[in-house]
Amino acid sequence: MIHQLGLWAMIIFVSSAFAEAPRALPVDPSDITPENDAVLIDPSPRAAEAKPLPPGEVTLPEVKPNPASDTPEIGALPKGEDAVRLQIFLDQAHFGPGVIDGKPGRFTILAVNAWNEVHGHPSNDLSAVMAAARKAVPNPFALAIVPEVATKWVNTKLSYKKAAQAKEKRMSYRSYGEFMSERYHTDVDFLIELNSQKQVYGLQPSGSLIVPNVKPFLIENLNGSRYDPVELLASRHMVIDTKVNQARIYESTPTALIVADPEGPVQVQANRALVASFPITPGKPQFIKYGLWEMKNAVQLPVWRYDQSLLDTGKRSNNALNIPPGPNSPVGVIWMGLSVSGIGVHGTSDPETIGRSRSAGCIRMANWDATRLPDFIRPGASVEIR
């Protein structure tokens, strides 16, 4: 995917079905409204579901330990099918482990601990979550077919130059392998491990390949809609922890923990207020807007206002381009603007870099995670960046 430039930029809503590259507008994402009524994209035909494969049919390469890894200490991490099974289970339970690749790392551990917290199990305990994963995910792999709708979302000639991108109708995937990797919450490297380099690089519509058996991210269902406030979801609270690179969504603003006997043993209790957690990448320290903010808007398929001066200095210029929407846009396929100017939670063109490289000031998430946020939180909710 394209190199992540970082983001402290302006977003405008898509108000037509990608008819033309829209003009640059002097707008603030905190309070903008569409220029016109949205023209929804016609729904695409439903793609065939992936066919689960029997356990043991897929052989995974041995994962070599990385002495430089920053993975927290936790029991004996699973390997092989069980590693993929655990990641799929956590992903489907809305405790995102990051890229599903059979290599559990820091984000998998954070997801395990979030799941344990909700279910009242000790931190860093793997026994309960692995038992649940083996029951819920008997078949961790599936055989998937590249749907015909992929032709609308793949452009093998998409330029890397911003001036050329501004003339495109959308920021498409650059290959069918990239389309399928994001669809199944993984990366191209893992698809190559499961299949072969020749098969993944030569992939075309109607072709098949082995994928993680996860509920797919259906980009064809996005139509440029904006999300309205919903009372229950607008009353929720999201904590964005820039120290551990995780966003947590709670039913309401968390209350302080009061310990009756500080000298006594700590009793683990289920935290039912935690409803979901996802990996994030925060902005650079000098650009992060710490504090408590309000979510002001949420829109699918945003247009990105590319202003190099704004990215470099924080000062807006008149020399800007509107980069069209799509999965290879630096803001991904969803934008959720906050009440602080120019800052929002959004998708990314580089899911494999989540937690590793920083943007200018916004909060990035993998597209498959970002598109699930409106199921848990809506405009009006409080967002704490800490």
What's the gap between Cα 105 and its chain centre? 17
Contacting residues for 269 by C-beta, under 8 A, at least 6 apart: 120
CB environment 161-189: b (16+ within 10 A), e (fewer): eeeebbebebbbbbbbbbbbbbbbbbbbe
The helix (H) or strand (E) run that includes residue 197 is helix 197-201
Q: Which long-range contacts (CB under 8 A, 24 or more apart) does 36-42 make?
A: 38/13, 38/14, 38/224, 38/225, 38/226, 39/15, 39/224, 40/223, 40/224, 40/225, 41/17, 41/222, 41/223, 41/224
The answer to whether 306 and 320 are in contact (CB under 8 A) is yes
CA dist 339 and 364 (Å) reads 17
Residue 121 falls in the annotated catalytic set: no
Helix (H, G, I), strand (E, B) or coil at 145: strand
What's the gap between Cα 241 and its chain centre? 16
Among candidate residues 94, 121, 237, 346, the one labeled active-site is 346
CA dist 65 and 355 (Å) reads 19
Cβ-based burial of 125 (10 A; exposed 0-12, middle 13-18, buried ≥19): middle
Residue 346 falls in the annotated catalytic set: yes
Among candidate residues 94, 121, 185, 362, the one labeled active-site is 362
The helix (H) or strand (E) run that includes residue 292 is strand 291-300
CA dist 366 and 182 (Å) reads 9
CA dist 354 and 106 (Å) reads 12
DSSP 53-95: PPTTSSPPPPPPP-TT--PPP-S----HHHHHHHHHHHHHTTB
- Which one-letter DSSP state was computed for residue 329? S
- Kindly give the pairing relationship between strand 237-241 and strand 382-385: parallel
DSSP 7-54: ---EEE---SSS-S-PPP----TTT---SS---PPPPPPPPPPPEEPP
Residues annotated catalytic, as ranges: 346, 362
